[in-house]
Each structure stands twice: as structure tokens, then as C-alpha cells.
Structure 1
Amino acid sequence: MNWIIAFELMMLVTSGCALLVSGWLLLQARKRRSLQALAGFGLMMALWCAGHIAIQQGWHLAGVLLILANPLMPTFFLHFALRFVRPQQSRAPAWLLWLSQHIVAIYSASVAVILLSWDGPGGTVVALGPFSDFFVFRGLGWVNIAYTVVVGVLAHLVLVWGLSVHRGNLRRSIVAMFGAGAWGLLLATSFIFPSLGFDWYPYPMLLLPSYVVLLVYGVVRYQILEANDFAKRTLPWLVLMLVLLGVMALLGALSAHFGLVQLAAVPLWQLWLCALLAVAVALSLRGPLTTLSGLLIYPGMRLDESLLERWLNQLKQEESWQGLQARAVELISAQVRQRVHIQLQHEGAGLPLYCEGELSILCQHQARGWRFRLQGWEDLKPGLRLTGEVFGSLLSTSCGLLERSLQLAEAERRRLASEHLVELGSLSAVMAHELRNPLNVISMATADLPAERRSLIQGQLARADRQISDLLLYSGRLELHRQPVLLPAMVDSMAGLFDWQQTRFDSDIPAGLLLTADPHRLQQVFTNLIENALSFVRNQPGSLIRIDCDATGRLIRIHNNGPAIDAALHATLFHPFVSRRAGGSGLGLAIVRRIMDAHGGSVSLREDLGWPVTFELNFPEEAAA
């Protein structure tokens, strides 16, 4: 009697699982039409199991009709397989295209076989082992079962073709279907044995609920992520149920040995039923009890997944540190119902400030990423402190995302600026070359002018030519021709190139000092620095320009005792088009820096050497070797 109840219970569970899964698949079928046919398969599985239950309850006619309707089960699965593998006209074989085009005819044939087996008759009810009523095939019922097998084979042939042409998740789903199909075939085989004359109890049919679940999960796990989340939550409860069933069976077997005679007299199926009811009650109370325990342990906390998702989305939308800070203050202050200060210590930010008695969340960038710390939360309720911890974690994540976003934006800005400078340099070089042609024409046109006017125009033309030369030098490509340069000789030879106008020039460079550099570019550096100094000290009483170097010969300094440079100009002094003298092109110091950079050195302004203005040239070690 116990095994009969177990059989009915498993058929009931299978039917219930199949109905639930079919309903869920119909909801999902709005996005994936192939799941409609799979839902039909689940519905027919539920009706097939209901037929066995009806026979056990004495409703023989209804049970036989439901079981003989089983050709529709593989027909629905064939329809699903055709939609799932998506055969295309150019790739699919002829037989597969024929099945796709005549699926309605296959449904009609299935209905015809069902009607034929109903009229046959196709089956009857006999006694089998502990069963007083069990279904077996008779007469045209064998046509019914043969047709069912043929359609099932066709469905799996469709899947075999899909396995050969698809890759990725579709292929994985097909492999999972084959595994579930093999398991279902093993379980259903025991249903056929009584029809063949074997008086065996169909033990494998007790595991039919697993077939429905495995088949559907194998299909959708790679297509619908919600199914994996549901399976993750359900699996622990299934394991718990199996453990409880095993414990109940062990308890029933050992209870007599411990003197628990009344417990030993309880049928095993009743113990199992109690265990299943206990699991069902625990599952139904899980949500309310979790909420209640949260309220008891963390009073005042009002966190859920939707709130956390809203927080994260709003924080991720901010595109600046100020915006992120303001948004964070708004969100957490509204949640805890009091003012919370947010301090973001990112690169370039000052040290955090904390006032005693204030609620604060400090996010800092550390070696291993962003970390947060709560300040002033010690006296709050546990629920509010947990709220602060959760929000701080989300805020740290948002800080990291914003930092990476700003870095990418800055890199893109620099790339565009670099491209713009390249274009500007090319344009400047072209314009400078083009300007020299009309200047030459103007110069030749002054030949017949009076000497005074010709001298004035020639001076301005020379000035324009120098500016064009500077523009070409700055915008063009620097190619260095390095060679040993005797620096004292070069400096002395340049002394006659300038109009000193009562300015004393002094050079204190050791005799024999050699620099490995491009002599033409090096002379351009000294020319620009001396001309720049002369523009401020020329015709001034006691004016002096001095050149010296340190003991290593790597640091060359050009001093002058003219007016000090305004501190506001220090940051941009070596930028192009920054000039502090009338008539200057604004490229002299920028050219000096570019030439020094090309040599692997640098140029800087010094005001700590006892002179109002000193420009220091720093050459690399190999240049002074």
C-alpha cells in the first residue's frame, strides 16, 4: 500500500511541476516564441501524469484517454526543437525544411493517432504487483506508442543537426537537452514493461519530477538568467528535502531499537509526508521570518534590492566629484533622516575635515582601491549603522567608476589636443613659408626709397623674418646632429653678434669644457636667452649679463640683473606666445625649452642664486661626459 501512495504522490508532484513550469514558460514566451511549444510539452506531461492518478482513483476511462493523448507530447517537443535550432533555407537539409513547413500536418497526424487509439481501444487497466489498477497498451495502443517514439526520434534528429551547426549557448542548451532526454527515457521505460508482460513495479517513474525540471532548466539556463537565479534559491531547499526524507527513513528504521514502538509503527510514507509538509511550511515562512528577524536585529533599517539599485544608478550618473558628493549627501541623508557629511579624498583633494558629533562617510583612494570609513556613527542603532556601511560600499564603488571615467575623458582630451597641435604646427609651417614670399617682394620694392625710409622698412622686415624663423623652428621637426662643442669658444664667438649698448657681458666657463650637442641648436638657445635678457637690461646703469656653470659642467646658467619676473608668469613662462617684452614673438623661451627637451635636458627659472633672473640649462650626464 505504501508504494501505491508513493507512486500517486510522485505523479501528483510531476503534474504540479509541469503545470507551474508551463505557466512560467508561457510568460517568457512573449520574448522567445520557441518556448510556447515547450510550454505545450509541459502541459501534456502534466495531463499524462494526471491520467495515472485518475486510474489509481478509479476513473479508468478518463485516465486511459489522458495517457493515450501522449503523442502530442513529443509533437510539441518536435515543434520546440524546430524553432530552437532555427533552420535556414540556405543551410538546412531538405528533410528539416520539410518538417518546419509541415508542422501543422504533424500535429494533425498526432491528433488522428490519438483518436484512432481512443476508438481502438488502445489500452486497458490491469492489476500489477501492489497496484489493483495500472495502465497497459493493447491493440491500436501499440500504434500510439510507436508513433510517439518516431516523433521523439525526429525531434532529437533535429537537435543533432542543431548541435552540428550551432556554437556557444545554443550548443550548450542542446547538449543539456540530450542529457535530460536520456534521463527521461530511462525513467519512462519502466512504464512500458507491464504492457510487455513483465510484472515489475515502475520504480524509476518515482523520479519523473526531476525529468521535467532538468529538461526545462537545461533549455533555458543559457537563455534566461532569471532561471539560474531561481535554481540557485531552490537548490538548497531541494537538498534539505532529500536530507529530511533520508533522516525520516533512518528514524523509522531505527526507532524500534530505541524503544520508540509507536514511532516505528508509523508508515514511512506518513513520515515522508510530514517532512515534505515541514519543508513547505518553512519555505512559505522564509520571507516573512527573514523580514521579521531583520527588523528585530536591525531596527530602523529599510533596505531592499530596489533601493540599492536606485542608489547605485543615481551615483553612477554623476560626472564630477562635486556632483557625486552632493548626490551622496542627498541620498543617505534622506535614508537616515538626518544630515550626513560626505568627504571624497580623491587625487588632488585636500585632507579630510571631521567635526566631532557629525555623521560622516569618508571615501579615500588607497593603494588597493577606494575604501570608506564611517565617522560619528558609533551611537546609532545597528540598523542605521548597517545602512551607512552598505551606502559607503556603494559610494566607494561609484568613486572608482568615476575616477576611471575621468581618466578616460582626460586621455581623450589630451589625444584630441595633441592632434590639434600637430595640425596647428603643420598649418603654421605652411603659413610661415608663404609669408616669406611677399616679404621678399616688399624688400625688393624698397630699393628706390630714401635711405631713412628704406632703413625703417628693412628693419621691420628683418623683425618679421626673425618671427617667421622662430615660428618655423617651433612648429617644425627638430633633427639633432650631435657633436662635441667647445662651449667657451662658442660663447666668446657669440659676443660680437649682439648690440650690448652699455651692458657688460661676463663669461666664467672653464676652458676646455666640452658638451655633446647640436652646435646650431645650442647657439640658438644662448641667442634667445641673451636677447631676452638684453631687452630688459640694455641701457640700464650697471647692467650685467653673466654666464657660468657648476663643477660638473652639466648646469649652465645665464644670469642678468634686470627686473625680476612677475610670479604670475612663472607657470606659463616657457609656453608659446607668452611674452613680457614689447615686440617679442612669444616663442623665444618656448623654443629654448623644446631644444633642451630634444637634447634630453631641461630649462628652468631660478631666483635663489643671488640674481634677479637666472635661466638654468640642465644637460644630461652623457652630454657633459
Structure 2
Amino acid sequence: MSLTLVFEISMMLTSGCAVLLAGWLLLQGQRQRAMPALAGFAAMMALWCAGHIAIVQHWHSVGVVLVLANPLMPMFFLHFALQFVSPTAEIRPRWRRLLPALYGISLLVIVTSWFGAGGAITATAGFDAFFIFAGIGWLNLFYTVLLGVAAHAVLWHGWRIHSGNKRRSIVAMFLAGGWGLLLATSFVFPSLGLNWYPYPMLLLPSYLLFLVYGVVRYQVLAINAFANKALLWLGMLLLVLALMALVSALLGQLGMQALAAVPASQLWLYSALLLLLSAACYRPIAALARRLIYPGGQLSEPLLAHWRSQLQQCDSWQALAELAAALLSAQLRQKVTVRLPEAGQQGSDLHIQCLRTEQGWLYQLTGWDDVTPGYRLQGEVFAALLLSNCRILEQSLKLAEAERKRLDQQHLVELGALSAAMAHELRNPLNIISMAAATTLPDTRQHIQQQLKRADRLIADLLSYAGQLQLQCSLVPVKAMLQSVMSQQDWQGVECQLDVPDELLLWADSYRLQQVFVNLLDNALAFCRNQSDAKIKLCAKVGQNKVQLFVHNNGPAIPTAQLPGLFQPFVSKRAGGSGLGLAIVRRIMQAHGAKVQHRSDLGWPVSFVLQFFNQQQGTENE
């Protein structure tokens, strides 16, 4: 094979690849604004290589015209570089105004080179005819180099201002540009009077591939899939060539003289053509195989994207279940039931169920055994996609619930601060009313004082519940404290029994502990004061790890309906009370690391148990 033929094959391969890449880049230009300019660069390289082929084929005039169009290659690349490194969606105004002028100058240089005999044909090593620059053609070459330097200066500026994938792409362009400069150096050998064969130009196909791949590999993911397939087929081609070389060496020893006489180059050519034919037939054969194995299956990327976008719009389990069933039913043209953890539908023959387990989410298909493999495949793919959306929805609902609780907590804090402020402000007008009542009739004054005392108690309860609890703990003698509380109550004939050891001490806030028993005794007296044989009993039980204090009364039992919210504010409100008594008791007990509970199984209709845990031994849960 002559060197001229090798040169032609290299130029043809470069030109063909450049045309294909230019078309592909133009399609990508709908999403990547810089790609059309790069497509122009690839198209001009195809014409430039075609010019060299024309000269070798003795179409000298056509070849010279195409080669002298050389400046448009770096011009398109400069245009691409300006768009690629521009940090905004458009090129800066001054560069946008400069580009038409540069294109005009480039065309002027090309036309001047054409009419000024800027190129000629000469014989050089390995060629009967090869292009050389002459006269005004050197201006063509100088201008081409100048545009290339400007394009790389723009890239250098882009490398300084960008980071991440954009910066990696710029580095790849520099490396590919250096490789292209090394290859193109041999193009000017004959013009400089060097009778050398331009071996580096044989590698020009690699320059174009390296440049385009370096530019778009970080920007267009599709090119990475294309490169992956290209490397796969290239590896297979090299493997076939190696196997054919081995087979060619063994054919003579196996007695196949006719096959052994076939030149190795022809065997390699046939093998390469066979492999290329296989690559061309791969897609239609694969599609036919899918239709045979999965009849009825018509999955595609647009369909999956539509499913994904629709499912992601759901904000509840019921909406997700209904939409998922509607989407798959429309695709399969038969009813499909979807069941999720907190939503479901009426039954049908085909079921998809998504379950949350300890290991994570999983799906189950029920009733799909009798459908075609294609429908089964669509069900599996849709279920996997639905499972992904279940995970996303679960996380979004958790975040929404956490945000709701945060806002509720913030609202309660604000409401508590407002209540405390209002309670303080109410005491001023109450004091004025009390002083004004001093001059009224005795009966009226007594009635006013009773209502003022009630209002003051309501304010005290509101402040206790809304304010912050700051405990001042010390050792409290429980029996003496209870005797003091009992002496403050108006028993009105109610019998009260005290059964607490004299030596019993509690580490607690004395004032807050008295408040607990005052509230409990007020409640007990309110319910059993109007009945005969009313009794209240205060007693204690000391254990190894805890102290229990009991407040029993024989008043009416608390209705079952009130028990779940017994210690909630404004739920267990008695006549004349604030509705905060038991809520304050629970809050004070929790501040002590203790707890309070209601019981009716201790021989009394109503019992409240206060449990204090030994602080030296830690808090215990019962």
C-alpha cells in the first residue's frame, strides 16, 4: 500500500468523521449554545481535508480553493471559545459586535488568497502533487495562526475565571490543541522547502476526536455514552485483527493452502467490514429481539420521563396511588390497582403493592403471571419507578411534619409569652377595682372580693403554666409541708387523713411542691365537698428507687372520655376553675424529673400518684 493511498485514507476518514460530528453538534446546539460554532469548525476541517484529497486526485484548482479557506477553521473555533467561556447566556456586547468584523476579515483574506495565487502545487516526498503557500498565501497562513492564538488566549482567560467541569473542558481543549499543532506542523514542510513526508498528518482523525470529546464530555452526557460504545467497538476490532493474524498463520499448517494464500491485509479488511456491518445491524436486531421476547412492551425514555415527572407532583399517599394506577392502566389498557402504606384502591386483576420494611422499601406484583412478558416488563419498570417516588414522598412528608411541629412550637412559645404579659397587665385594673370596692356595702364588697380572689387565682394559674419554671431545690420535709398546705384549705366538713412518715424528705422546690398539692386538694374538695361522708387521704410509699405520694378522694369517678386528655390544659375544667390545675401539676412534676398519673384501682374512686425518683440512682421509667 503506497504512502499516498495511506494519506488519502487518513484525510477521507478525518473528513467523514468531521461531517458526522458537525451534524451531531448542530443537533446538540438546541440545548448547548456554543455547539453550532464548533460544528462550523468541524465542517471546515472536513472541507480542508477534502481539499488535500482533491489535490492528490489532480483536481488542483478545487483543492487549492478549499485549502486556502483555512482561516475559517480558527475563526469558528474563536467564536466557539468566546461562547463557551462566557459566564452569561450571551457573549459580551463588545465581542458580539466584533465577531461579524472578524468573519468579514477572514472572508476577505480567503478571497484575496484565491485571486492573488496564494497557493501552488509541487511534488514532494511521496506525492506527485502537494499544496504549498506562495505570495499572498503567507498572509493567509499568518492570519490563521493569529486567530488560533486569539482563540487560545480566550480559553486561557476562561480557565482563570471558571472552575469545575468548565475548567476541565478548557484544559482538555488546550491538550487537544497542542496535539493538533504538532500534527499540523508537517502541513507546512513543503512550503518551507523541506522534502519530508507529512507523517503526523496521518493522525489527524485523532485530533478531531480528542478536541470534540474534550470539549463536550463534561457538558453533554450523550457523548460519553457514544465514546463508551466507540471504545467497545474499537477494542473488538483490534481483537478481531489479532485473531485473524493468528488464523492466517495457522491456516498453512492446517492444510488450508488457498486461505493461507489470501493476503493478511485482505483478511483484516474483510474482518473490519464484517464488524462494521455487525455494529450497523446491532440496533435493529436488538429491537427485533426485544419485540420477540417482550411482545407488547413499548418502553421508551420519553415515556419514563413522563411517568417520573407526573409521579413527582403528588403530595399525598392517596394521590400517588390514584395517579400511579391511572398512568399504568392507560399504558396497558387494562385496570391496575396500586396499594401504598397509607392508601389503596378497589381491587382488580393486576396489583402493585409498595411496602415499607425494616430493610427498606420493596414492591410486590400480584396477578401478573398471566400477562404477556412485555406487560410484565412494563409493570416491573413502573413498580421500580413508583418505589423511588415512595421514598421521595416519605422524606418530603417527614420534612413537612417536622416543619409543622416547629411552627406549632413557635406558636405556643409566642402564645405563652403573650398570655404571661396579659396576665401581668390584668392585675393592675383588678387592684383598682379592689380599692374602689372598699367604700361599697359589706355584702357587695364581700361578693366583689370573692370574684377578685377567683380572678387572681386564674391569673396565677395562667402565669404558672405559661411562664418558665426555674426550680430552687432543697430537702423538703414532706409531712410538715403537707400540714401547712392542709391548714390553708376550707374543708367545710370534709374529712382529711394524713399518713406520711415524719422523717420523709424530698429533694424538690418547696414552693412548687406546695403548688402541686394545693391544685390537687382544690380539685378533690370541689368534687366531694357537697356529698356526705366525704374523705380525702394523703399518704406515702417509700421504695428502694422512688418515693410515691398519693392523693385519694371518694368523690365521683372521672368519666372515661376525659381520661386521655386529663392533664391537657382546658380539658378537665371544673366549674369555677381555670382548666389549668392538672396541667400545671404535670408540668411541675416533669420539671422535677418526676411524673404524675391518675389511677382508679387503689380502692378509691379517684387517686393521683406522684412519683419522685432517687436522684443519686438516676431516673427510672416505670
1:596 to 586, 589, 592: 589
Letter in 1 for 2:182: L
Q: Does residue 447 of the first structure (1) align with residue 438 of the second (2)?
A: yes
Q: In 1, are the aligned partners of 2:322 and 2:345 still within 8 Å (CA)?
A: no
Query: Residue 211 of structure 1 aligns with which residue?
Result: 207
Query: Residue 384 of structure 1 aligns with which residue?
Result: 375
Q: Does residue 55 of the first structure (1) align with residue 55 of the second (2)?
A: yes
Which is worse superposed, 506-515 or 119-128? 119-128
> Structure 1's 184 and 460: CA in aligned 2 closer, same or farther, altered over 3 A?
same
Q: What displacement does 1:480 show?
A: 0.6
> Structure 1's 457 and 9: CA in aligned 2 closer, same or farther, altered over 3 A?
same
Query: Residue 585 of structure 1 aligns with which residue?
Result: 578
Q: What displacement does 1:67 show?
A: 1.4
Query: Residue 190 of structure 1 aligns with which residue?
Result: 186
Query: Residue 562 of structure 2 aligns with which residue?
Result: 569
Q: In 2, are the aligned partners of 1:554 and 1:624 still within 8 Å (CA)?
A: no
Letter in 1 for 2:424: H
Q: Does residue 327 of the first structure (1) align with residue 323 of the second (2)?
A: yes
Q: What displacement does 1:295 show?
A: 2.3
CA distance in 2, matches of 1:155, 1:386: 51
Query: Residue 8 of structure 2 aligns with which residue?
Result: 8
Q: Does residue 73 of the first structure (1) align with residue 67 of the second (2)?
A: no
> Structure 1's 508 and 341: CA in aligned 2 closer, same or farther, altered over 3 A?
farther
Query: Residue 301 of structure 2 aligns with which residue?
Result: 305
Q: What displacement does 1:49 show?
A: 0.8
2:364 to 373, 385, 399: 373
Query: Residue 291 of structure 1 aligns with which residue?
Result: 287
CA distance in 1, matches of 2:427, 2:322: 57
Q: In 2, are the aligned partners of 1:74 and 1:155 still within 8 Å (CA)?
A: yes
Query: Residue 400 of structure 1 aligns with which residue?
Result: 391
Letter in 2 for 1:441: I
Q: What displacement does 1:76 show?
A: 2.4
CA distance in 1, matches of 2:532, 2:298: 81
Q: What displacement does 1:437 show?
A: 1.5
1:486 to 477, 482, 493: 477
CA distance in 2, matches of 1:230, 1:569: 71
Query: Residue 144 of structure 1 aligns with which residue?
Result: 140
Q: In 2, are the aligned partners of 1:2 and 1:267 still within 8 Å (CA)?
A: no
Query: Residue 534 of structure 2 aligns with which residue?
Result: 543
When the two structures are superposed, what TM-score results if normalisation uses the length of structure 1? Answer: 0.88
1:146-182 CA distances to partner (integer Å, 9 max, x unpaired)? 4433332332233223323332333222101011112
1:353-405 CA distances to partner (integer Å, 9 max, x unpaired)? 999x9543332223343222334444544333333322222222111111111
Q: What displacement does 1:42 show?
A: 1.4
Query: Residue 21 of structure 2 aligns with which residue?
Result: 21
Query: Residue 412 of structure 2 aligns with which residue?
Result: 421
> Structure 1's 360 and 166: CA in aligned 2 closer, same or farther, altered over 3 A?
closer
Letter in 2 for 1:23: G
> Structure 1's 308 and 353: CA in aligned 2 closer, same or farther, altered over 3 A?
closer
Q: What displacement does 1:111 show?
A: 3.5
**Secondary structure of 1:622's match?**
coil
Query: Residue 505 of structure 2 aligns with which residue?
Result: 514
**Secondary structure of 2:365's match?**
strand
CA distance in 2, matches of 1:116, 1:610: 117
Query: Residue 559 of structure 1 aligns with which residue?
Result: 552
CA distance in 2, matches of 1:56, 1:608: 111
1:248-276 CA distances to partner (integer Å, 9 max, x unpaired)? 56655665565555545555665455444
Q: Does residue 609 of the first structure (1) align with residue 605 of the second (2)?
A: no
Query: Residue 161 of structure 1 aligns with which residue?
Result: 157
> Structure 1's 620 and 340: CA in aligned 2 closer, same or farther, altered over 3 A?
farther
Letter in 2 for 1:167: S
Letter in 1 for 2:166: L
CA distance in 1, matches of 2:277, 2:60: 34
Query: Residue 529 of structure 1 aligns with which residue?
Result: 520
Q: In 2, are the aligned partners of 1:363 and 1:396 still within 8 Å (CA)?
A: yes
1:512-549 CA distances to partner (integer Å, 9 max, x unpaired)? 12111111011111111111122111122333222333
Mapping 1:447-466, distance limit 5 Å: 447-466=438-457
Query: Residue 240 of structure 1 aligns with which residue?
Result: 236
1:360 to 328, 351, 355: 351
When the two structures are superposed, what TM-score results if normalisation uses the length of structure 2? Answer: 0.89
Letter in 1 for 2:536: I
**Secondary structure of 1:619's match?**
strand
Letter in 1 for 2:165: N
- How many residue pairs match? The answer is 613
Q: Does residue 472 of the first structure (1) align with residue 472 of the second (2)?
A: no
Q: In 1, are the aligned partners of 2:18 and 2:46 still within 8 Å (CA)?
A: yes
Q: What displacement does 1:496 show?
A: 1.7
> Structure 1's 234 and 141: CA in aligned 2 closer, same or farther, altered over 3 A?
same
1:400-459 CA distances to partner (integer Å, 9 max, x unpaired)? 111111111111111111111111111111211121122112212222322222212211
Which is worse superposed, 190-199 or 604-613? 190-199
**What is the percentage of aligned positions where both structures have the same residue?**
55
Q: What displacement does 1:215 show?
A: 1.1
Which is worse superposed, 409-418 or 187-196? 187-196
Query: Residue 134 of structure 1 aligns with which residue?
Result: 130
> Structure 1's 104 and 398: CA in aligned 2 closer, same or farther, altered over 3 A?
closer
> Structure 1's 200 and 326: CA in aligned 2 closer, same or farther, altered over 3 A?
same
Unmatched 5+ stretches in structure 1: none
Letter in 2 for 1:176: A
Which is worse superposed, 475-484 or 260-269? 260-269
CA distance in 1, matches of 2:290, 2:430: 86
